[in-house]
Amino acid sequence: MDIKTVGIVGAGQMGNGIAHVFALAGYEVTLNDLSADALSRALSEIDKNLSRQASRGKISEEEKTAALARISTTTVLTDIGPSDLIVEAATERETVKTAIFEDLQPHLKPNTILTSNTSSISITRLASRTDRPEKFMGLHFMNPVPVMQLVELIRGIATDEDTYKTMLALVEKIGKTAASAEDFPAFIVNRILMPMINEAVYTLYEGVGNVRSIDESMKLGANHPMGPLELADFIGLDTCLAIMNVLHDGLADTKYRPCPLLTKYVEAGWLGRKTQRGFYDYRGETPVPTR
C-alpha cells in the first residue's frame, strides 16, 4: 500500500507532534480539530519546534519551510476521509474515538488505513466498530513526538499482514523505531510505566516520602531523567488515571488499582503542567511541590 496523504484527528500535543514528523518526512498532512484556535496553536507549535530543530542543525531552513507547506488544517472531520492513512489522536476516551471512526466511515477510500494513537484502549474493540478491522492498527507515539524515537505498533486480532507490513515500513520512513506489541491493556510502555507512576503516588499518599524526595530518589538512585511525579505532571494526571483504570478493568488485578490520591488530584482539576498545577505548582518561576 502506497501512503502519500495523512489525515490526523486532534491538534493537541500529540496531534501536532505527529503532523510535524509526517510533514518533515515528506507526507501531505491534513490536521483536523473541532477548534480553529487549537489548529492555530498547533501550527505555531509546529513552527516553533521545526525552528528549534533548524537552529540546532538537525534540519535545514528549506526542509522546515517545505514541511510547513505540506500541512493544511480543517475543522471539518470528513475533509480528511480521502487520506491514505488516518491517525486518530483525540482525547483518551473510547466513546469519542469510536464516534470519530463512525463519522469518517462513509467518506473513506476503500484502501484507507485507520490507526489510533491510543495509549491503552483495545485496538481490537476499536477496529470492530469500523468497516475495515483488517486495515486498523494502533500507532502509539511517545511524547514529545518529534523527540522520542519509539512508536508502538499494535495489531488487533483482525489486522492483516499487508497492513502491518505497510505500517512497519512507514514508521521506518518517518525516522522512528517500531516496537510491535500485542493488543493487551496499555500495551508495552504504559503497562510498565504507569504502575511505576501509580506506585510513586502511593509512596506519597502513605507518607513514605514527599514529592521532592520521591522524584530525587528516582533521578539520582535509578538514573531516570525525570522523577515519576514530575513525569506524571508532564503526561497529564487525567491520562495517567485513565490508563490505570484500563489496566485495572482489563486485567482484573488489584495491583493496578489507581491510588486514591491520583483520583483526588484529577477530581480537583489539578492535571499537571497543562492546568498549571499537579504534583507541582507551575504558576511561579520555578515549579513548587504541592505536597
Regarding whether 200 and 63 lie in a shared domain, the answer is: no
Q: What is the CATH number of the domain that holds 128?
A: 3.40.50.720
Residue spans of beta strands (DSSP E) within the chain: 5-9, 28-32, 71-74, 85-88, 113-116, 136-141, 150-155, 177-181, 280-281, 288-289
Q: Judge contact between 246 and 120, C-beta under 8 A.
A: yes
**Residue of higher predicted confidence among 2 and 261:** 261
Same domain, 36 and 131: yes
pLDDT of 10 reads 97
- Identify the pLDDT of residue 190: 95
What is the sign of the dihedral through the CA atoms of 26, 30, 32 and 35?
A: positive
Residues 275 and 176 in one domain: no
8 A C-beta contact, residue 85 and residue 113: yes
210 and 234 part of one domain? yes
* Among 119, 120, 122, 198, the one annotated catalytic: 119
Active site residue 224: no
Domain count, the chain: 2
Domain that holds residue 115: 5-181
Do 67 and 159 share a domain, yes or no?
Answer: yes
Of the listed 88, 92, 152, 230, which one is catalytic? 152
Q: Are residues 20 and 124 in the same domain?
A: yes
Q: How many helices (H) and strands (E) does the chain have?
A: 11, 10
Residue 273: what pLDDT? 96
How confident is the model over 58-80, as pLDDT tens digits?
999 999 999 999 999 999 999 99
Per-residue pLDDT reduced to its tens digit, 163-221? 999 999 999 999 999 999 999 999 999 999 999 999 999 999 999 999 999 999 999 99
pLDDT for residue 50 is more than 90: yes
Average pLDDT score over the chain: 97
List pLDDT tens digits, range 220-258.
Answer: 999 999 999 999 999 999 999 999 999 999 999 999 999
Higher pLDDT, 1 or 199: 199
Is 1's pLDDT higher than 80?
A: no
CB 3 within 8 A of CB 166: yes
What pLDDT shows up at residue 92? 86
- How many CB atoms are closer than 10 A to CB 11? 29
pLDDT score recorded for residue 120: 87
Give the pLDDT confidence score for residue 109 in this predicted structure: 96
Which residue in 49, 83, 140, 230 is the catalytic one?
A: 140
61 is an active site residue: no
In contact, 140 and 117? CB cutoff 8 Å: yes
| 48 and 118 both lie in a single domain | yes
Q: Return the percentage of the chain with pLDDT > 70, whole number.
A: 100
pLDDT digits (tens, 9 = 90+) for 96-149: 999 999 999 999 999 999 999 998 899 999 999 999 999 999 999 999 999 999
Within this chain, do residues 115 and 235 fall inside the same structural domain, yes or no?
no
Q: Assign residue 232 the CATH number of its domain.
A: 1.10.1040.10
The model's pTM: 0.90
Q: 227 and 168 in one domain? A: no
Q: Is 152 a catalytic residue?
A: yes
Q: Look-up: residue for cell 504504559?
A: 190
- Structure confidence at residue 136 (pLDDT): 98
- Ranges of beta strands (E only) in 25-122 are 28-32, 71-74, 85-88, 113-116
Domain boundary among 181, 200, 232: 181
- Number of residues in the chain: 291
**The predicted structure's pLDDT at residue 140:** 97
Identify whether residues 65 and 168 lie together within a single domain. yes
How many angstroms separate the CA atoms of 288 and 201, rounded? Answer: 17
Whether the Cβ atoms of residue 90 and residue 97 lie closer than 8 Å to each other: yes
Do 84 and 206 belong together in one domain? no
Asked if 44 is an active-site residue, the reply is no
- 157 and 193 in a single domain? The answer is no
**Residue 254 CB partners (closer than 8 Å, separation 6+):** none
